[in-house]
């Protein structure tokens, strides 16, 4: 799987760890910047990651900023992007399995390298179960979220 990865200046210190975790999980990271701790605006990078997913360049994305809140808000403004803040492994896999999350937001000032590696592995190892027999309720719920997106 191709995974788009973006970070603002606050997320940059954790970005290489995340890219290595993506590779360790057997996937291909796509580095969309930033490339230093020089101040940049998180919405610009959230849009790059989201657009990579929407354009089919990546199947999933990971966005890093200081708290993950700003990146999450920005990414969720994009139709077709379903971002979640996950600072634990349960939320990371559950967000994909039940909610069809396609973009993981991590707060680089909240978690360290070791939790980040485990969270990324949980996110990438999960798949949406809404089409599985007996799990249709998740498809119904995600459908309702998509209707909200339409207005």
86 labelled catalytic:
no
| Residue 108 lies in domain | 2-150
Domain CATH for 7: 3.40.1400.10
74 near 57, Cβ under 8 Å? no
**Residue-by-residue pLDDT tens, the chain, 151 positions:** 999 999 999 999 999 999 999 999 999 999 999 999 999 999 999 999 999 999 999 999 999 999 999 999 999 999 999 999 999 999 999 999 999 999 999 999 999 999 999 999 999 999 999 999 999 999 999 999 999 999 8
- Annotated catalytic residue: which of 9, 65, 86, 93? 65
Domain count, the chain: 1
35 labelled catalytic:
no
Strand order in the sheet with 60-65: 28-31, 2-7, 60-65, 103-107, 83-85
Q: Does pTM surpass 0.95?
A: yes
């Amino acid at each position: 799987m191709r995974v788009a990865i973006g970070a603002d200046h606050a997320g940059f210190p954790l970005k290489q760890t995340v890219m290595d975790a993506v590779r360790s999980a057997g996937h291909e990271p796509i580095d969309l910047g930033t490339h230093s701790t020089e101040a940049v605006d998180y919405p610009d990078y959230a849009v790059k990651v989201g657009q990579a997913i929407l354009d089919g360049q990546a199947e999933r994305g990971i966005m890093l900023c200081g708290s993950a809140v700003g990146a999450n808000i920005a990414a969720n403004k994009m139709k077709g992007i379903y971002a979640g803040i996950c600072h634990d492994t349960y939320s990371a896999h559950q967000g994909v399995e039940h909610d069809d999350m396609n973009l993981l937001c991590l707060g680089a000032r909240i978690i360290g390298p070791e939790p980040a590696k485990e969270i990324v592995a949980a996110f990438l190892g999960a798949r949406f179960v809404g089409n599985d027999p007996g799990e249709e309720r998740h498809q119904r719920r995600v459908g309702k979220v998509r209707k909200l997106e339409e207005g």
